Structure 1
């Protein structure tokens, strides 16, 4: 994938200001505090000027029962002026290496997305690793998807208009696994998922690469020293998530079949260690007759749109997020 590896000219001067390596000795609690106090306010600052007027949507906070407790979910519902209106349902899982972030991370982005798509969005506050290792966050997210489906009428939603799971990075990993779980779960027989948004997803741990795919899975080595996310930082997150590498619920590319899954929108970055597994997973779904849309961002790393929201590819990434969801909602399965 040499065409994806040449650094984007706008990214080069930004990369020069960033540390290339990840401090693997830092405690997750310290990293989480830094994430919440530095990264999340920056994301809010980027998105706040783009927020629609408060009158265009409403926000509800709920608690969802899960095994061993409750988790928060934040629901954004459009206000079209018609009290009886119903909207497509999207359930969103945030990124952060299964260990970082909370429902505040993508709050403003999801308010914008809800208004632009005219969709109800459920933002899941799953419990993070390492305090809650695999599969707790995944199970929390799955419980939230079921809760959203069961309460759709109370959330001004109709799954017949669209029922999508989505997220970035770890959230994309959860979404891919949830799509497989839901396909096999009788609970979803009369309310099937209609789409999955897989943004820079983790789909296949490097320790579990099947021999037949190793020749095309080069990004782990090629981008081992990448900015933002590199091989060392991924090992750090894998260590604290504690998921077996060869478990399909960690590495969904290893499911024996991908038949019957809902359409999938992929976003993949050229300088991301996860690049080639994302490309492979898109191909595996396509070969199983799942409709896919693939957007690739050459020459930029994982989560570049957070580090460099001002560059042209970041604008494209954002626009593709919106248009990708529209593509998922425009399928024949959504009415």
Structure 2
């Protein structure tokens, strides 16, 4: 029995809310169903956060296209409005949405990012990476890394040519208002958290980021290990995939189905980043759900980061499933999740390397 087995005991408030959901027949097209679900979750999140949005004058949102290998993707820049006389140079958060790498888009985190942007005076760049199965591994991952380099390039230009940024004569930086010396974070939820872990590893080893390093990671219920690549030495520590195999929300079978669409080699550290070397990574703030099949791999990942000398901050939400904060934003656990994210973000900005 896992030492974390008790975390699967359902939260009574969640159980009550979940029991009131209508029973739906199995979808004829699972892929379209999950994509539709993500659209519904984005709408729920916007409805919940609409009243919390800061004054529109305190931030701006711009979508722009960037060229990547084999095509073009959209990134969304949400940045604070500079006050009178203020140099527009803010910390930067690079964000990847969830959805299993097969669903989701920029709308999922749009309103929460606007709120964080204005509250913490931080520029947020979210990436609409291409999805499997139309674009299998590593296309979505490479899209994210290309976008991260776009962000890094713009931030570096700001440091070199600060007077030009406000005049918008250098391509990227006016869209970011980013100063990596004040914080250069990567983050995401679920599959987006997986993508954030991998781009953090890549950036650590890439000379491109030598002068503007990633300084922090926000990892919300990350997927960091393919089931087929589970190391034998951790067998007794990775029991949540079996314990929580039937969901709710995310099941072991759906995880395997998504893996089949992504078509990644299970043991590739860029698909199972738990297997990578972690020394020298930026500090990580990690949020984990107790009723999640991915729970134990996320907790093990946090431990391995600490053992590698990486600063970590961990929050666990007992009795609630993967993505609960999107589906049930009214829960006390969801309110805590949101408040904890604020504390985690502030901690990363203070703990930047």
What TM bracket, shorter-length normalisation?
over 0.9
Question: Are 2:200 and 1:197 aligned?
Answer: no
Of residues 121, 133, 137, the one that matches 1:118 is 121
Q: 1:75 aligns with which of 62, 71, 77?
A: 77
Corresponding residue for residue 12 of structure 1: 15
| C-alpha distance in 1 between matches for 2:25 and 2:294 | 16
- The answer to whether residue 96 in structure 2 is matched with residue 87 in structure 1 is no
Q: CA deviation at 1:287?
A: 0.2
Does structure 2 conserve the Cα–Cα contact (< 8 Å) formed by 1:176 and 1:252? yes
Does residue 1:271 correspond to 2:274, yes or no?
no
C-alpha separation between the residues in 2 aligned to 1:28 and 1:57?
35
Quote the Cα distance in structure 1 between the aligned partners of 2:127 and 2:26: 28
**In the alignment, does 2:305 pair up with 1:285?**
yes
Q: Quick check: 2:245–2:293 contact (8 Å CA) kept in 1? A: yes
Listed one character per residue, the Cα deviations across residues 89-136 of structure 1 (whole Å, up to 9, x for unaligned) are: 110000001011111111111000111111000010101111111111
Rounded Cα–Cα distance in structure 2 between residues aligned with 1:22 and 1:87: 48
Structure number with larger C-alpha Rg: 2
Task: Quote the offset at 1:216 in angstroms.
Answer: 0.7
Alignment partners' CA distance in 2, 1:291 and 1:89: 19
Q: Using the TM superposition, name which of 77-86 and 275-284 deviates more.
A: 77-86
Seen in structure 2, the aligned counterparts of structure 1 residues 93 and 20 have a Cα distance that, compared at 3 Å, is farther
Please give the secondary structure, in 2, of the residue aligned with 1:323: helix
Q: Distance in 1 between matches of 2:53 and 2:195?
A: 27
In the TM superposition, what are the counterparts of 1:1-335 in structure 2 within 5 Å? Answer: 1-18=4-21, 23=26, 26-36=29-39, 38-82=40-84, 83-152=86-155, 153=158, 154=173, 155-255=176-276, 257-333=277-353
Q: Is the 8 A contact 1:263 1:291 kept in 2?
A: yes
Gap runs ≥5 in structure 2 = 159-172
Contact 2:73/2:130 (<8 A) preserved = yes
What is the alpha-carbon distance in structure 2 between the residues aligned to residue 126 and residue 277 of structure 1?
24
* Offset of residue 24 of structure 1: 7.6
8 Å CA contact 2:99, 2:190 repeated in 1: yes
Q: How many residues align?
A: 331
Residues 86 and 156 in structure 1, CA contact (< 8 A), matched pair in contact too: yes
Q: Tell me: CA distance 1:30–1:225, structure 2 relative to 1, closer, same or farther (3 Å).
A: closer
RMSD: 1.7
User: Where in structure 1 are there 5+ consecutive unaligned residues?
Assistant: none
State TM-score, norm by structure 2. 0.90
* 1:244 CA drift (Å): 1.4
1:11, distance to aligned residue in structure 2 (A): 0.9
Task: From the superposition, tell whether residues 68 and 147 of structure 1 become closer, same or farther in structure 2 (CA, over 3 Å).
Answer: same
Change (3 A) 1:21 1:225: farther
For residue 46 of structure 1, report the CA deviation from its aligned partner: 1.1
Query: Which is worse superposed, 281-290 or 59-68?
Result: 59-68
Q: Structure 1 length normalisation: TM-score?
A: 0.95
- Using the alignment, how far apart are the partners of 1:86 and 1:146 within structure 2? 18
